[in-house]
Amino acid sequence: MEKRELVIIGAGPAGLTAAIYGKRSGLDVLVLEKGIPGGQINVTDEIENWTGVIHASGAELADTFRKHAEHFKAEFRETEVKAITVDGGRKVIHTDGDDIEAEAVIIATGASFKKLGAPGEKELTGRGVSYCAVCDGAFFEDQEIAVIGGGNTAVEEAVYLTQFASKVTIIHRRDSFRADRLAIDRAMSNPKIEVIWNTVVEEIVGEDMVEKLVLKNVRT
Ligand SMILES: Cc1cc2nc3c(=O)[nH]c(=O)nc-3n(C[C@H](O)[C@H](O)[C@H](O)COP(=O)(O)OP(=O)(O)OC[C@H]3O[C@@H](n4cnc5c(N)ncnc54)[C@H](O)[C@@H]3O)c2cc1C
């Protein structure tokens, strides 16, 4: 079985940073990634809170992170980790390829999109329901788009979507956003954005594509 000193699972910002530290400490580092190195920032339109970089697209920043880790000769492998077994000090990583034994494992598998859990969501995913504005926004040119949520991602993505949509409606279950002030100001001053407060989506309705949302005001 292949034996490595340090195996890092996930090549998002955390995994790539760990790879840089591992290599600089003189370790043999293997990074396992099931998708594209960079993780969630690959689907981020603009990043302006990374110190030292005033503005970059997520993909640009992901590219610099990956190049930084490659500069220190971290090895990358495209594979999905299915399980890890620990037997005493022995750690075996089971991938969709061969198993790998590692002296140390860093799990940096990040996060995945949070589902709404509303009826119709699963059936209409890819048919009007999307979790990534950068990936899918352009498919909805001149259409009305609803963004559900009230944090930074929802508010920033709503602004991003105004370049395609005829109108963007943010549906938020509370009466104020949790997003950064700057992001809120940009959204609230955008004439294409409307906000429906204190409201949740009860159902997503449509035959082949999303046609309408059934909303419920949580206050009335
Ligand atoms: C739309 C959007 C906009 C954002 N905007 C900003 C922003 O402007 N500023 C900011 O600071 N943050 C932003 N974020 C958040 C930021 O992207 C995350 O905080 C950051 O990516 C987390 O890094 P991570 O390495 O922990 O995890 P992730 O980025 O989630 O990376 C985890 C990696 O692990 C891989 N992986 C998972 N499971 C396995 C497995 N079993 N086998 C192999 N590989 C696996 C995944 O494919 C992924 O590449 C945004 C996020 C989104 C979704």
For the stretch 35-50, pLDDT in tens is 999 999 988 888 888 9
Q: Can you tell me the mean pLDDT for 87-101? A: 94
Atom of ligand 1 nearest to the CA of 17: 25
Distance 212 CA to ligand 1 centre (A): 30
Q: Can you tell me the mean pLDDT for 48-63? A: 92
Q: Residue 134: its pLDDT value, please?
A: 86
Q: Can you tell me the mean pLDDT for 78-95? A: 95
Beta strand segments in the chain, E: 2-9, 29-33, 46-47, 56-57, 75-78, 81-87, 90-95, 100-107, 144-148, 167-171, 193-196, 199-205, 212-217
| Ligand 1 contact via 57 beta carbon (within 6 Å) | no
| Ligand 1 contact via 170 beta carbon (within 6 Å) | no
What single-letter DSSP state applies at residue 50? Answer: B
Mean pLDDT rounded to a whole number for the chain? 95
* 139-to-122, 144, 155, 164, 169 alpha-carbon distances in Å: 19, 12, 19, 8, 17
From the list 141, 137, 180, 177, the residue with the least C-alpha distance to 160 is 137
In the structure encoding, which two tokens stand for residue 186, read together? 């940009």
Tens-digit pLDDT profile for residues 107-131: 999 988 889 999 999 999 989 999 9
State what percent of residues in the chain have pLDDT above 70.
Answer: 100
180 pLDDT exceeds 90? yes
Under the banding of pLDDT at 50, 70 and 90, the label for residue 18 is: very high
Q: Residue 44: its pLDDT value, please?
A: 83
d(CA 144, CA 164): 9
Residue from 132, 175, 185, 208 carrying the catalytic annotation: 132
Mark whether 135 is an active-site residue.
yes
Q: Residue 99: its pLDDT value, please?
A: 97
Query: 190 or 58, which is more confident?
Result: 190
| Cβ atoms of 96 and 87 closer than 8 Å | no
Q: Residue 198: its pLDDT value, please?
A: 98
Atom of ligand 1 nearest to the CA of 32: 43
In the structure encoding, which two tokens stand for residue 75, read together? 């090895």
Amino acid letter at 169? T
* 6-to-2, 79, 179 alpha-carbon distances in Å: 12, 16, 37
| Block residue for tokens 């082949």 | 208
Domains of the chain are 2-107 (3.50.50.60), 133-217 (3.50.50.60)
25 pLDDT exceeds 90? yes
State what percent of residues in the chain have pLDDT above 90.
Answer: 88
The backbone region for 91, taken as left when phi is positive above 0, alpha when psi lies in -120 to 50, beta otherwise, is beta
Q: Residue 27: its pLDDT value, please?
A: 97
Q: Residue 110: its pLDDT value, please?
A: 96
Distance 7 CA to ligand 1 centre (A): 18
